[in-house]
Amino acid sequence: MLTQDGFNLDDAIRKVPDFPKPGILFYDITSILANPDAFRYCIDSMVKLYRDQRLDGIAAIESRGFIFASPLCDRLGIPLLLVRKKGKLPGKTLGKRYELEYGEAEIEMHVADIPVGGRVLIVDDLIATGGTIRAAADLLTDGGADAIGAFAVVGLPFLDYRKTLGDLPVRTLIEYFGE
Ligand code: AMP
């Protein structure tokens, strides 16, 4: 399976059945990171997608989102804003609780990082239900920023993330349609 521009990204993604629990097919991006051509393909593709947009920051989701957002921020010359699990950030934070399949989670950002009135892109490695991205977008909105879109290397549209994310523009490099 080739991406739109002919790179075999699928080959670079390790698929691990029944991880972290039975019935889940885990799309592991560590095999992209260990493959310099694949990693460069991802970062170059992100640069092409976003270089013509005015962005005031990229909100990177802990932890695999950090890996893809960091080089993009460097290449575009814009601020990297970390979205972390509760209790990790030392400064004044703003938090958002959200539902998981089982239980709840909470993410936080440093208040000082959120550009009030600014345009922010959210980046993660993979979008499944879209719950994490939804919470990050709501957190940015609460902080006074404008979440203008989301990017993930991998999308799983069969888990209905587009419904969860409504009209938030989402871009991915590869999508899988079932397990
Ligand atoms: P969600 O909030 O449901 O969109 O879940 C997205 C988060 O969970 C991302 O940070 C992913 O890294 C991780 N994730 C969920 N499902 C998978 C999967 N099948 N393979 C790899 N990562 C996953």
Q: What is the DSSP letter of 13?
A: S
Structure tokens at 124: 């993660």
Whether residue 48 is contained in a domain is answered as: no
CATH of the domain at 87: 3.40.50.2020
pLDDT for the residue 102? 79
Hey, whose CA ends up nearest to atom 12 of ligand 1? 126
Burial class (CB in 10 A: 0-12, 13-18, 19+), 70: middle
Whether residue 147 is contained in a domain is answered as: yes
Distance 124 CA to ligand 1 centre (A): 9
pTM of the model: 0.97
pLDDT for the residue 179? 59
Distance 70 CA to ligand 1 centre (A): 19
The Cα–Cα gap between 52 and 76 comes to 10
Residue with token string 């009030």? 116
Whether residue 36 is contained in a domain is answered as: no
Whether residue 154 is contained in a domain is answered as: yes
Which atom of ligand 1 is closest in space to residue 135's alpha carbon? 2
Q: Count up the domains in the chain and report the number.
A: 1
Whether residue 85 is contained in a domain is answered as: yes
Whether residue 144 is contained in a domain is answered as: yes
Pocket lined around ligand 1, Cβ cut-off 6 Å:
24-27, 61, 64, 124-132, 161
- For residue 101, the enclosing domain spans 53-175
The Cα–Cα gap between 142 and 132 comes to 15
Per-residue pLDDT of the chain (179 residues; tens, 9 = 90+): 767 678 999 999 999 999 999 999 999 999 999 999 999 999 999 999 999 999 999 999 999 999 999 999 999 999 999 999 999 999 999 999 999 877 899 999 999 999 999 999 999 999 999 999 999 999 999 999 999 999 999 999 999 999 999 999 999 999 999 75
Among candidate residues 34, 19, 38, the one with its CA nearest the CA of residue 154: 38
Distance 133 CA to ligand 1 centre (A): 10
Whether residue 66 is contained in a domain is answered as: yes
The Cα–Cα gap between 131 and 100 comes to 7
Whether residue 28 is contained in a domain is answered as: no
